[in-house]
Structure 1
Amino acid sequence: MALEYLSPSDVAALCAGDAPPVIIDVREQWEYDIAHIAGSVLIPLSTLPERVGTLDPSRRYAMLCHHGMRSEMAGNWLTQHGFAQLINIDGGIDAWSVEVDPSLPRY
C-alpha cells in the first residue's frame, strides 16, 4: 500500500476515533520542544533506521514533521520496509497549528 496523504483535520478526526493512528514526529528534538502534538512519538528522521525495530508493522502510523517533506521521506522509507498503514500529515505541524490547534507555536 502506498503512503496516504491526509490533512491535519482528517488526522485529528482519526485520532478521536476508535482506532487512532500513532503519530510519529520525525523532527529534531529542538523542534519538538517548540511545539508537538500530545501523545506523539519523537523519532528524528536520522534515527529512524536504528529505531524501526521499536515499531509494529501491523499498526497504523501518521508521520509528522514541520511542513511534510521529512515525514514523506520517512513514510516512503517505512513503506519499503514492510509498513502498509502509513499516513503523511499534509503541511506538518505548521498546518496542524493552523487547522487543528492554534495554541501550538509556529516557527
Structure 2
Amino acid sequence: MDWEISVSEYARLKQQPAAPVLVDVREPLEVQLASIEGAVRMPMGEVKARAHQELDPDAHIVVLCHHGARSLSVTAWLRREGFESVQSIAGGIDAWSREVDPAIPRY
C-alpha cells in the first residue's frame, strides 16, 4: 500500500460502505477553519498517547493535515507502530478544497 493517497482517490473510497477511517491531525483552530465531516480529530501532538486506544491497527486509516507534511510524519509513525494500512492525504485539506470540495475554505 502506498504511503500517500490522492484527494480524488480518498473521495472515491469515502463513498464506499467500508470507507477508511479519516484521522485529522491538525490543531483545533485549524479544524474550526476547515474540516471534512466524520474525521477523528487527533492533533499530531496527541497521536502517540491516543492511537493505540482509539484506532484499530487493522483498519484502513487515512491521515489528514493542512498540506500533507504532518500527516506523512504521522503515517510513518503509525506504520512503525504496527498500523499497516495507513496513508497520508497528499496535499492535505488544501488540496481537498481545491480539487474535491471548494465549499471548504482555504487558509
- Shorter-chain TM range is over 0.9
Count of residues in correspondence between the two structures? 106
CA contact under 8 A between 2:3 and 2:75: conserved in structure 1?
A: no
1:5 Cα offset (Å): 1.2
Contact 2:3/2:72 (8 A) holds in 1: no
Give the letter aligned to residue 15 of structure 2: A
Q: Where in structure 1 do 4 or more consecutive aligned residues deviate above 3 Å?
A: none
Counterpart residue number, 1:96: 96
Q: For 1:6-35, what per-residue CA distance to the aligned partner results, in whole angstroms no more than 9, with x for missing partners?
A: 110110100111310010000000000000
Alignment TM-score, normalising by the size of structure 2: 0.95
1:54 Cα shift? 1.2
Corresponding position of 1:77: 77
**TM-score normalized by the length of structure 1:** 0.95
Q: Structure 1: any 5+ residue segments left out of the alignment?
A: none
Deviation of 1:4 (Å)? 2.4
**1:1-107 mapped onto 2 (5 Å cutoff):** 4-52=3-51, 53-107=53-107
CA contact (8 A) 1:21 1:60 kept: yes
Identity of aligned residues (%): 44
Unaligned runs of 5+ in 2: none
Distance 2:90 2:55 in 1: 22
Q: Distance in 2 between matches of 1:55 and 1:46?
A: 16
* Alpha-carbon shift at residue 3 of structure 1 (Å): 5.1
Does the Cα contact within 8 Å between 1:3 and 1:79 map onto a contact in 2?
no
AA of the residue aligned to 1:38: E
